[in-house]
Structure 1
Amino acid sequence: MYSQFNEQFAAATREFADAAAQVNRLAIESTESIFALQLAAIQDRANATFAFLGEAAEVRDADGIKNIWPKGVQVARENLERGVAVSQKMMEHSSKTNEQIADITKSQLASAAQTAQSSAEQVANAVNEKSQSFAKGAGKASKAK
């Protein structure tokens, strides 16, 4: 009886460890890709900003400021748009990862429920067999009196 319980517990622990490893792998992969997205966006924004600042450094008069002002607004707008686009990609990626983790969790819970159901059925069958054999033994004992 105890060995069966130990085997079931060990199997459940292995399943849990496997599921945890899958979840951790997904989380790490998601973090890596989000980090790569952010770094690429920072690099793009920094390049655009420094290019603009290089042009702005060459301005020497008021007409130059008037000419460069729209470029500065354009760079700021593009930086904002890139930031929003990267945020959306990050949210999509996080959502997909969370769905995958939820699927793993769902399958883990279904497996645990199935295991518990089969164990409960085995116990019920064992109890039923014992009660039937006890009833037969009690019937024989009452006939012997």
Structure 2
Amino acid sequence: MDPTLYAPWQAARILGVSPATLRRMAALVEEVLHPLPRDAGGGRLWPEGVLGLLAEARGRAKAEGIPLREALLQVKEASGAEGAFPPPPPLATQASGEEALALLRALLERLERVEGELAALRAENQALRESLKALEAPRPRRPWWAFWRR
């Protein structure tokens, strides 16, 4: 692993926050800046530059009493954060045209199957709604205190 990329638990320890707080911050960072790089298992990796920006934004948010989102936007504008956070690498396009076409055909087959299942579920749902209308309404119950009026 690149020494400038940190695992989530390491990033949480560096920032002094819990992993749950770091996950909330990750959503905000990905929204304001760029998507975070991912490891082979799909977990987020935290670049050192992003941790610095986030730490600065947290300090500014606490000092000025502003939301973290606003502080992160201010820090991004002030530092020109585009260089500190490289965009994710492009998707690998090493598959041949035939492999890509086969993948697209398999995807189309799955999509058609799912659309068929969805249509069947919609029809069943409509039939259930119609049968529900046909049921008679329940008799109104006597209030519990009506027992004493005998």
The question of a shared fold, defined as TM-score above 0.5 by the shorter chain, is answered with: no
Q: Which has the higher contact order (CA 8 A, sep 6+)?
A: 1
Rg larger for: 1
